[in-house]
Structure 1
Amino acid sequence: MAQKRQTGNGSSATRRQFLQTIAVAAGTAWWVSGKAYGLQDSKSPNERLNFACIGVDGKGGSDSSDASLVGNIVGICDIDERRLNKKAGQKGFQDAKKFVDFRVMLDELGDQVDAITVSTPDHTHAPAAAMGLKMGKHVFCQKPLTWSIDEARTLRQLFEQGKSKGICTQMGNQGTSETGLREGVEFIRSGALGDVTEVHVWTNRPIWPQGEGRPAESAEPPKEVHWDLFLGPAPERPYNPTAYHPFKWRGWIDFGTGALGDMACHTANLPVMALNLFDPVTVVAESSGIVEGETYPKNSKITFQFPERKGAGGKTLPACKMFWYDGGQKPDPSLLMGEKMGDSGMLAIGKEGSFYSAHDYGAIWVTLPKTKEFKRPEASLPRAPQSENGANVHFVEFAQACRAGKPEIAMSNFDYATHLTETILWGNVALRSGEKVTISKDGKIESPSTASQFLGREYRDGWTL
């Protein structure tokens, strides 16, 4: 493999400054009163970002398409050449160079690239995102942001280092840009529910294999599937044609983060943001059990305990428990005061009332009891921009942040996203440990000491952060 570029300076920095200059000239409107903010995208081709897309099918299909609607595609990468060639034939992608190894793509394209998208299995999110950040590229990365807590902390450091240079980021939990979610965050933060001391979040996942051991059968991968690149930093294992690729990798510990990692960045996003549910002090999991150290359980209930902490505006928030349920487990239906319980949902319980959403993103919600009137607060969060050429507004928000060189425009930037991801992944530490995990104020495991091994792992040779 060619040597990696160590920095993204030089002509890359010059191009970024140029994009910011014309973005400012176009005008930046902030509407903290609740109206939409954003930049007016001119038709000048110089204002369009140049994207390199890593993973171009599945969720990567829509992410790369969004990139093509707001920018130019200069490179596409996928470990499966069948999917790669399919994407290369679509409008907006015919002129893009094709790669199977993102490290080679970023090294070769270098300063031609302004931003990257990362839409791969969970275990390769961090290596790809970290390489982009080190090269000075803007990064849009799918959820969960990382496979491990150690990786989340590393990406947070890289984000902080790049923030002053205008390097922008966004995690792909697109519900963050839903107006309903932002209104829900404002409502809970307003204190209308009183002290919130209990949160319940549940999902209908997994809808992929979990709770099973490694298949005994193995086979040679199709010539179009670069299995070694699929494995990435994970330990070597033989290819199986039905077990991992595509889609089914989610339940395998080496590659995915299970039902919790896959969905909590969506379903728990609203209460975590509203209540600053970061840095739990204890996490305990009840589950059907990790199978042979290979896959996450078929079902689980995980309890996160958060201490008294500061909320939005410096307000002191009381200690709070968050309960997570998957694999058919759900909270007591009586907590919903007669409302129908959805297959997925979240419920925040306060002294003065409750907040319930059966929407995966929290964009549609009701207050309980329904007989009680609650005052809606003034808008305090910016609203997502309008779509550009049909692109998802969450991606448009990222693109506008990049053009302006203002990382804070993207609400799921890697400051927030790494903290959200870390909160969630503590649940997987508890699942894998099988014991109650106690965490110190500085984020270290106090007990059991054996759980520390689940904070990260050693990468295979050739793979680094």
Structure 2
Amino acid sequence: MSEKEQTPEKKEKKSVGRREFLKGAALTAASFYIFPRYVLGGPGYVAPSDKFNVAGIGVGGMGRANLLNLSSQNIVALCDVDKAYMEKAFTKLDDDMSRAQTRLSAAKTEQERKSINEQITNFRQLKEQYPKAKKFQDYREMFDKMKKDIDGVVIATPDHAHAVIAMEAIRRKKHLYVQKPLTYTVHEARTLAEAARKAKVITQMGNQGHSSEGARLINEWIWDGAIGNVHTVYAWTNRPMAYWPQGQARPTNTVPVPDTLNWDLFIGPAPMRPYHPDYHPFAWRGWTDFGVGALGDMGAHLLDHPNWALKLGPPESVEASSTPWGGTKEDPRVSYPLATQITYQFAARENMPPVKLIWTDGGIMPPRPEELDITENMNQGGGVIMVGEKGKLMHDTYGSNPRLLPKSRMDSYKQPPKTIARVDMSHEMDWVRCCKDGKKQPSSNFDYAGPLTETMLLGMIAPRFPGKKLLWDSVNMKFTNSPEATQFVTREYRQGWGLSV
């Protein structure tokens, strides 16, 4: 559905400014919405006053990728604890454009050329915006100095800092796009979703596959009964292999803190540790102080589709086995195991049977489906297999390449009507258009992303108690048979940090 064209009288009302409109629009937030392209900066001129003012917090890595997809809007502020890391990310835009031009000259299809041209446009737009954006190291200073100039915030810091920064943004009534995993603990996910709902801000988690065509096809096929009732799901990733270190002890040598890095702000709510390049940049994900491992990283992509299609809800139980944790006898479990297997049990719901979901990472693969053609290899990088009474559905990471097994079933399958609204732009811009309209939330808003994150994080608690089936009481947020496991549902914050609204 789409919004009716504005009347001339409404267009002439200059007394209601852009930020006033956005603030008022946020008061009526709910679910997914599509409205005219002229509101979004489609073909033709878009006045700067019609654009959305975005601030990025954590912009050296994935945060920059998010801002590239938002480069048609006003990037008004950039905040990163490491000035050099931020500058490096943006000064290499010329190299990125050059490489894209090389790919464009070798492109063979119109779709490929269109995609590359869009990338080049984003690189160019972000390069133009970088010098004009105000730069900060401390997000609190940024909020204080630009409290009237920011409409929405993109948070792409290490996992441990997501919740405290997001809660500060909610307190200031700023719309939020938070990278996955939404939070570091189950309690934070529950608290953040409730606070965002109460503040009526527009939210989105950065699991971009949720906006894909593949995600919608998977749902429509499952709901059409393409493979019958699903009873078992396998999800796997090869991470952390070759991505970041895990299964090792804490570094012990002393390294000076770079002049461009505010290490105290990097630590934020986590326990204070001496600076070391083994933690920053990016290598933080495998350390229990700062990240939530492979499941926290990729579960938002791989568990998303079965969670959505099967309407899973919270698990009844979770249990795990793993390779050894990294650490020493005196300082155990400082980094996550190199490989884990986690088994969830979900109850029957909405006329669907109970589901067993088995997650593996670190290169552990599920059994190869007998129905898979001998010429086809399973994607070792990651994927999902849903096993139903009448067949199997398999897809790669981000919901890409969904197909029914065996191939003959896919070839003969008469696909159902497309009943789920499609997202005709990036995951980030879908968030922006919902912020501008204010009537509906994007589909991976915190009311969806919060419970998904809880499921992922329960899986990260289970390997601490290998071989024990942990029974989960979602209403009371505790394991009924393990007070020891329940303590990991929450966390202790370093003095001076915490959640507040």
Q: TM-score, normalised by structure 2?
A: 0.81
| 1:146 and 2:180 are equivalent in the alignment | no
Distance 2:81 2:156 in 1: 12
Computed over aligned residues only, the root mean square deviation of the Cα atoms, in angstroms, reads 2.1
Question: Is the 8 Å Cα contact of residues 25 and 435 (structure 2) preserved in structure 1?
Answer: no
- Secondary structure of 1:223's counterpart equals coil
SS in 2 for 1:139: strand
Paired amino acid for 2:273: R
The Cα shift of 1:432 comes to 2.4
1:196 maps to 230
Give the CA deviation at 1:114. Answer: 0.4
Q: Which amino acid in structure 2 is aligned with residue 191 of structure 1? A: G
Q: CA deviation at 1:217?
A: 1.2
Which residue matches 1:84? 86
Aligned mates of 1:384, 1:317 — CA distance in 2: 27
- SS of the aligned residue for 2:275 comes to coil
Check whether the contact 1:22–1:47 (CA below 8 A) recurs between aligned residues: no
Q: Which moved more, 1:360-369 or 1:295-304?
A: 360-369
Counterpart of 1:401 (choices 434, 445, 448) is 434
Q: Does 1:379 align with 2:381?
A: no
Q: Aligned in 2, Cα 1:333/1:57: closer, same or farther, shift over 3 Å? A: same
Q: Which amino acid is 2:348 matched to?
A: E
**Aligned 1:88-99 pairs, distance under 5 A:** 90-99=127-136
In the other structure, the counterpart of 2:465 is: 433
In structure 2, C-alpha distance between the alignment counterparts of 1:38 and 1:423, rounded to whole Å: 36
Q: 1:214 aligns with which of 241, 247, 250?
A: 250
Answer whether contact 2:287 2:334 (CA < 8 A) is retained: yes
Equivalent pair of 2:236/2:365 in contact (CA under 8 Å): yes
Pair 1:227-2:263 in alignment = yes
Judged with a 3 Å threshold, the aligned counterparts in structure 2 of structure 1 residues 146 and 341 are, in CA distance, closer, same or farther, namely same
145 and 259 in structure 1: CA distance in 2 versus 1, 3 angstrom threshold: same
- Structure 1 residues 128-147: aligned runs within 5 Å: 128-147=165-184
Return closer, same or farther for 1:247/1:38 CA change in 2, 3 Å cut-off. Answer: farther
Question: Amino acid of the residue matched to residue 387 of structure 2?
Answer: I
Amino acid of the structure 2 residue aligned with 1:98: K
- Mapped contact 2:18–2:50 kept (Cα < 8 A): no
1:421 has 2:453 as partner = yes
Q: Is the 8 A contact 2:18 2:49 kept in 1?
A: no
Contact 2:385 2:392 in 1 (8 A): yes
Please tell me whether residue 444 in structure 1 is matched to residue 447 in structure 2. no
Match of 1:301 in 2: 341
d(CA) in 2 for partners of 1:110, 1:271: 39
> After superposition, what is the alpha-carbon deviation per residue over 1:148-176, rounded to whole angstroms, capped at 9, x for unaligned?
1011001110121123xxx2111111111
Aligned residues: 425
Q: CA deviation at 1:75?
A: 1.3
The answer to whether 1:180 aligns with 2:214 is yes
C-alpha displacement of 1:289: 2.7
Q: Distance in 2 between matches of 1:404 and 1:37?
A: 8
Distance 1:398 1:133 in 2: 16
Three-state SS of the structure 1 residue aligned to 2:235 is strand
Cα pair 1:233 1:459 within 8 Å, conserved: yes
Deviation at 1:182, TM superposition (A): 1.2
Residue of 51, 59, 64 corresponding to 2:62: 59
What is the distance in 2 between the residues matched to 1:394 and 1:255?
Answer: 25
For residues 279 and 157 of structure 2, the distance between their equivalents in structure 1, rounded to whole angstroms, comes to 13
- Distance (whole Å) between structure 2 residues aligned to residue 57 and residue 376 of structure 1: 42
Verify the 8 A CA contact 1:433 1:450 in the aligned structure 2. Answer: no
How far the C-alpha of 1:186 sits from its partner, in A, is 1.6
Whole-Å separation in 1 of the counterparts to 2:497 and 2:135: 21
Q: Which of the two has higher C-alpha Rg? A: 2
Q: Please show how residues 19-168 of structure 1 align to structure 2 within 5 Å.
A: 19=22, 39-40=37-38, 41-42=40-41, 43-69=46-72, 71-86=73-88, 90-163=127-200, 167-168=201-202
Task: Report the counterpart of residue 356 of structure 1 in structure 2.
Answer: 394
Alpha-carbon deviation of 1:337?
A: 3.2
How far residue 277 of structure 1 moved from its aligned partner, in angstroms, is: 2.1
Distance 2:387 2:19 in 1: 45
CA shift for structure 1 position 366: 0.9
In 2, are the aligned partners of 1:279 and 1:306 still within 8 Å (CA)? yes
Which one-letter code corresponds to 1:48 in the other structure? K
CA contact under 8 A between 1:407 and 1:413: conserved in structure 2?
no
Inter-partner Cα distance in structure 2 for 1:61 and 1:425 = 26
Q: Percent identity?
A: 41
1:66 to partner: Cα distance: 2.5
Q: Distance in 1 between matches of 2:348 and 2:36?
A: 36
Query: Do the aligned residues in 2 keep the contact of 1:20 with 1:404 (CA within 8 Å)?
Result: no
Paired residue secondary structure (1:261): helix
Instruction: Supply the distance in 2 between the matched residues of 1:360 and 1:63 (Cα, whole angstroms).
Output: 19
Unaligned runs of 5+ residues in structure 1 are 1-12, 24-29, 311-315, 387-392
- After TM superposition, give the deviation of residue 19 of structure 1 in Å: 4.3
Q: Which residue of 2 aligns with 1:370?
A: 407
Give structure 2 stretches of 5+ with no counterpart: 1-15, 27-31, 92-126, 327-331
